[in-house]
Amino acid sequence: MSFRKPHLKRILILALLAGLLFPYYLHAAIEPAVDEKIISAVLKNLARAFTATADIEKIKRENIAKIERMDEEKFRKRSTNVCNAIREMSGFMREKYGVTPGMTKEQAVRAVQSLDKKKIYEIIDAAPDAMPA
């Protein structure tokens, strides 16, 4: 059985999005369980491995093109959803990259353009250490 790179990319993206789509669990007042920490560590390591092997410049170009093609209403909805999904990291993302619910398309493009592998690793490391089991 062989794994094609696009297939692995989809799995990684879906796994990361699943973790980001359930921020309620990330705000729990109790200490995260060991299994939650293990899941988080695995997802972070998968994201690091993907970042190490991915063509970041190509991904940036593709995403900038998507942002530029979006109409303002669609962009506003997407940026609001992204900001809600990363609220656990919002201080970090706001300070480092200016990611806010009211950001413009131009600000989003500049934020994407500024990314490199080192910055992506910082973002991965800023993710919460617990994910829902």
The model's pLDDT over 1-48, given as tens digits with 9 standing for 90+, comes to: 444 555 566 666 656 555 554 554 444 545 667 777 888 888 888 999
Tell me how far CA of residue 99 lies from CA of 43, 87, 95, 121, in angstroms.
Answer: 22, 10, 8, 17
In 3D, which of 20, 127, 132, 40 has the Cα closest to residue 81? Answer: 20
Q: Is 131 exposed, middle or buried (0-12, 13-18, 19+ CB in 10 A)?
A: buried
The model's pLDDT over 41-60, given as tens digits with 9 standing for 90+, comes to: 888 889 999 999 999 999 99
pLDDT for 89: 61
What's this model's pTM, rounded to 2 decimal places?
0.64
Buried b (16+ CB within 10 A) or exposed e, 21-48: eebeebeeeeebeeebeebbeebbebbe
Backbone φ, ψ for residue 94 (5° rounding): -65, -45
